Structure 1
Amino acid sequence: MIAVKSRLDTWLGRFTMYRLILWVLGILAAYSMILNVLGWLTFGLPQMLVHLMLCVGLTYASSRLLALVFRTRPHSESSLITGLLLYFLFWPSFAATDIAGVALACVLASVSKYALAFRGRHIFNPAAAGAFITGLTGLNIATWWAATPAMLWLLVPGVLAVLYRTRKMLMAAVFLVVATGIVFTELLGRGMTVGQALWQPLAQRPLLFFVGFMLTEPLTLPPRRWQQLGLAAVVGVVFAVPYNLGFVANSPELALLLGNLLAFFLGQRGRVELTFKGSRQLTPDSRELRFEPKRPVRFAAGQFMELNLPHRRSDGKGRRRVFSITSAPGAPEVTFGVGTAGPLSAAKKALLSLEPGDKVTATSVGGDFLLPRDPGRPVLLIAAGIGVTPFLSHLASESRPRDIVLLYLAESRDELAACGQLEASGARVIARLADGSTPPAFMHDAGTGRIDARRLGELVPDIPEREVYVSGSPASVDSLRAAARGAGARKVRVDSFAGY
């Protein structure tokens, strides 16, 4: 199972989140037209084709036009995703008012990224904002027709792929349990059977489409997992409980917008602007880059930041990348550890080619790879290669003594990063170097053998008393997590670098 999971992680890691969602939505759009030809949908193929071209074309065009007006670089994948979402939200039709309503929703979705924003960061999901405001005008109302039983054959695997890739399975489960439970109870009260009351919310209401492509959008989520789970529960209630306030009634788009507003107040409000100051070599295959933020950045040791890295020659891997922060919270500069071994994506090439004074922006800060609040709680940190980067922030931020053991796996002595910082931290450091080279004197040499459960138990006999943190590539993390579990670890947190 570990090998299968590693292969799946590696394959999905080749897609950025935006590219994966774009592919899944594109396939679903094609599938919907096949269903229409087969008679499972009754919109009419000409209506569906025109509707698709209107949604995608107008959203894309308005997004690029607004980018010119505001002198920013448009995010093409984002605008295409918004257009495809609107394709599934509004009913395909040739009626003049319906077409006008869809066109308005497309333009409003693009405008919302600039008009409903704070310090360069949009607050609301663009597709939901465009659909909701259009509904207030009376021109058209979102019907969320993707919630059709025939769509489930591809919708379910598509949603699962997206949720697995973005690591939002638990958040989605909380939303589905809350929303489905409320609707299920309501339908039972109306006289439906148990089977009907379960089938109807999942097959004929847009819960799956909503949670897979809209609720879990990273830019409109709070930074911590417990906050995301709480948000999922709140949105699930607002989504499922019927209400009518006169000018608005319950709808998926309104539930999402309320959730977006709540998330805005929980996270880093506004875009983070960073000025590049310089870099230093960590190892032959990694560098540490230093940035000065325009405003103080709120983060905790072990969290990540997503950088927006526009570049002219796209390689299809997107322009946003997640990097672990290596500096301590409150430091005047924010630093990142970046792997430089090839092949490099176009976005990473753009990052590594920065000159002092160049500016970049960060779109989000988040993550739950945090040490226990109780400094008396002993921990074991296991780093595979570049996976040491979040631990550098942990060690830099520890103001009170903590019992820390760091197991560092690297190819050679040259690939050990920040040895001076590791020695000064006071942590007990164990190095396993694959080429058999000798680690620095302050490190314990673990030899060249594979780190399995038995070997890990020998190196850290008190592992059952320690909280374990594992960081590295997906394959390394899966193997080392299994080893930690086998050695008796009760709690294992992971932070895998999946090529996001």
Structure 2
Amino acid sequence: MSRVDDLLGRVTTYRTVSAALGVVLAAALVLSLSGSVHVEPVALAVSVVVAVAVTLLVSLACGALWRVPVHRESSVITGLLLALLLRPSTAPLDLAVLAAAAAAAGASKFVLAVRSRHVLNPAAAGALAVGLVGVPFGAVPATWWVATPALLPVVAVAALAVVVRTRRGLLVGTYLVVAGGVVSVRLVGLGLAVPDALWTSLASYPLVLAAAFMLTEPLTLPPRRRQQLAEAALVGALTVTPFTLGPVWSSPELALVVGNVLAFALGQRRAVRLTVVGHRDVTPAVREVAFAPERALRFRPGQWIELHVPHAGVDRRGTRRVFSVASPPGHVDGVVVAYRLTPAPSSFKRTLTSLPQGVVVRATSVGGDFLLPRRADVPLLLVAGGIGITPFVSQLAALARAGERRDVVLLLLLGPGDEPPYADVLTASAARVVVVAPTPPAVLPEGWEHRAAPLLEDAVLREGVPDAHRRLAYVSGPPRMVVHARRTLRRAGVRRIRTDAFAGY
């Protein structure tokens, strides 16, 4: 799985989603030619063009009107989803309905938004809008035609790629268990055998697509895991529970919109404007940027923030990136993020590195569950790989500011010749720090220890932290390092492990 993480980590989440949807549509086109999928090939091609073009054009027009940057790839994803939801056709009325859904979806990011953050999943909003408004006039609502046994293998593989890239397996699994369970129970009650009921729930209902490609839409999720799982269960149940309330009837798009409204009520209800106040090199390989938020930013130590930095010459990594906040709440420098400098940085990193003071960027979401326990008597083992130290810096700095002393051992994994980042913060925290690196750093702060190893090995853990088995462990860093460290901790008898991997960081 670490090799898959490395492969997917080379592209952004948005690029992964758009590529996965493209594969599904390409498979549908091929299967339509053989008659395995009952849509017209020409109609499918025309529908994709109309859905993507209208969504993108309306988004660009709204962006110009509202004077805000437009995330074009997000608009492309919305158009591709709508092409999978509304049945392909070349009939003028059907194309008009599709165009209306695409226009509603593109506009919803701006009209149904609060301080630059959209509230509803755009594709769900567009599909729901044409269903509510167009059906009385003869329009065909969203049929989710992609939910067919012939396409399920392709949809499942594409969904798996998205789930691995977004690390939303538990969220998607919760939705599928609840929705699939409700459908299966109902089908068994109608006389189907249990295996047939389970197969039908996955092959003939749009559960996999809705869960992996729409429920996981990042800007419309609650900030905390337990909130996300509660939303997934609710949306899953609503998706497959038949009901009619006047002009409103049960549908996957309605269930998603209800979940979006709930998530908005629970989360950061606005996009945050951040003004660049300074840069500094933490080490020769680590760069830090400090921002002053326009309004107080609510977050807890260990959580992440997603930055949106539009720029020219955008490469495949895109214009949005997630960073762990490296500063504690209420820090004098505002909100601080850090990242590793590489010989061939992405266009995002190049732009972020060169932003002058006074430039304003947006934080589109804040969240995460990589939080220390509230109880101060729980012994902790923190394992950081390189830039994975940033959430621990926020946490340890917050503890030091509060005057709270905890039993903390920090294992800091460094590459050859790397300097330990944030040595001042780590020293001030009074945590016991063990540096794991092939060679000792040029400067090893007083009281720190060094263990010679390229990775976290069994002997290093056994000798450096002999009581690891009684500690609550946190692991943060690149996916491959996190997987290896987790296995090493398991072998040492550590049973409570929480991880925070920086996929494609």
Whether these two folds match at TM > 0.5 is yes
Number of equivalenced pairs: 496
**1:380 aligned partner:** 381
**2:103 aligned partner:** 107
Alignment map for 1:192-271 (pairs within 5 Å): 192-271=192-271
**1:95 aligned partner:** 91
**1:401 aligned partner:** 405
Q: 1:465 to 1:70 in 2, by over 3 A?
A: same
**1:334 aligned partner:** 335
Look up the SS of the partner of 2:244 in the other structure.
Answer: coil
- Give the Cα separation in 2 of the matches to 1:251 and 1:342: 49
- Give the Cα separation in 2 of the matches to 1:104 and 1:186: 34
- Give the Cα separation in 2 of the matches to 1:23 and 1:188: 37
**2:390 aligned partner:** 389
Cα deviations by residue, 1:274-331 (Å, 9 ceiling, x for unpaired): 0000022211100221100011111111111110011111212211111110111233
How big is the shift at 1:212?
Answer: 1.1
Look up the SS of the partner of 2:281 in the other structure.
Answer: strand
For the 8 Å contact 1:326–1:390, the answer to whether it is kept is yes
Look up the SS of the partner of 1:446 in the other structure.
Answer: strand
AA in 2 matched with 1:382: V
Q: 1:80 to 1:450 in 2, by over 3 A?
A: closer
- Is 1:351 the counterpart of 2:355? The answer is no
- Is 1:424 the counterpart of 2:420? The answer is no
**1:489 aligned partner:** 494
AA in 1 matched with 2:460: R
For the 8 Å contact 1:453–1:485, the answer to whether it is kept is no
> Percent identity at matched positions?
46
For the 8 Å contact 1:287–1:339, the answer to whether it is kept is yes
For the 8 Å contact 2:285–2:418, the answer to whether it is kept is no
- Give the Cα separation in 1 of the matches to 2:415 and 2:156: 41
Q: Give TM-score scaled by structure 2 length.
A: 0.96
- Give the Cα separation in 2 of the matches to 1:81 and 1:294: 30
Q: Give TM-score scaled by structure 1 length.
A: 0.97
For the 8 Å contact 2:415–2:454, the answer to whether it is kept is no
- Give the Cα separation in 2 of the matches to 1:352 and 1:150: 48
Structure 1 residues without counterparts, runs of 5 or longer: none
Look up the SS of the partner of 2:452 in the other structure.
Answer: coil
How big is the shift at 1:161?
Answer: 0.8
- Give the Cα separation in 1 of the matches to 2:270 and 2:48: 32
**2:483 aligned partner:** 478
Among candidates 451, 461, 480, match of residue 456 of structure 1: 461
Look up the SS of the partner of 1:40 in the other structure.
Answer: coil
Q: 1:454 to 1:143 in 2, by over 3 A?
A: same
How big is the shift at 1:449?
Answer: 6.1
**2:452 aligned partner:** 447
- Give the Cα separation in 2 of the matches to 1:158 and 1:366: 26
Structure 2 residues without counterparts, runs of 5 or longer: none
- Give the Cα separation in 1 of the matches to 2:386 and 2:57: 43
**1:410 aligned partner:** 414
Look up the SS of the partner of 2:337 in the other structure.
Answer: strand
RMSD: 1.4
How big is the shift at 1:166?
Answer: 0.4
For the 8 Å contact 2:326–2:336, the answer to whether it is kept is yes
- Give the Cα separation in 2 of the matches to 1:133 and 1:347: 35
Q: 1:254 to 1:450 in 2, by over 3 A?
A: closer
- Give the Cα separation in 2 of the matches to 1:92 and 1:318: 30
**2:299 aligned partner:** 299
**1:73 aligned partner:** 69
Q: 1:449 to 1:260 in 2, by over 3 A?
A: closer
How big is the shift at 1:388?
Answer: 0.8
For the 8 Å contact 2:307–2:320, the answer to whether it is kept is yes
- Give the Cα separation in 2 of the matches to 1:440 and 1:411: 17
How big is the shift at 1:402?
Answer: 0.9
How big is the shift at 1:412?
Answer: 5.5
- Give the Cα separation in 1 of the matches to 2:21 and 2:418: 45
How big is the shift at 1:441?
Answer: 1.6
- Give the Cα separation in 2 of the matches to 1:417 and 1:384: 11
AA in 2 matched with 1:393: S
Look up the SS of the partner of 1:376 in the other structure.
Answer: coil
Quick check: 284-293 or 88-97, which moved more?
88-97
Quick check: 301-310 or 64-73, which moved more?
64-73
AA in 2 matched with 1:8: V
Cα deviations by residue, 1:446-481 (Å, 9 ceiling, x for unpaired): 234643123202111111111011111111111111
Q: 1:414 to 1:171 in 2, by over 3 A?
A: closer
Look up the SS of the partner of 2:150 in the other structure.
Answer: helix
- Give the Cα separation in 1 of the matches to 2:47 and 2:2: 40
**2:275 aligned partner:** 275
**2:167 aligned partner:** 167
- Give the Cα separation in 1 of the matches to 2:189 and 2:292: 59
- Give the Cα separation in 2 of the matches to 1:419 and 1:214: 42
Quick check: 75-84 or 135-144, which moved more?
135-144
For the 8 Å contact 2:176–2:207, the answer to whether it is kept is yes
- Give the Cα separation in 2 of the matches to 1:79 and 1:189: 41
- Give the Cα separation in 2 of the matches to 1:185 and 1:449: 52
Quick check: 198-207 or 40-49, which moved more?
40-49
AA in 1 matched with 2:438: A
Quick check: 191-200 or 214-223, which moved more?
191-200
- Give the Cα separation in 2 of the matches to 1:461 and 1:15: 39
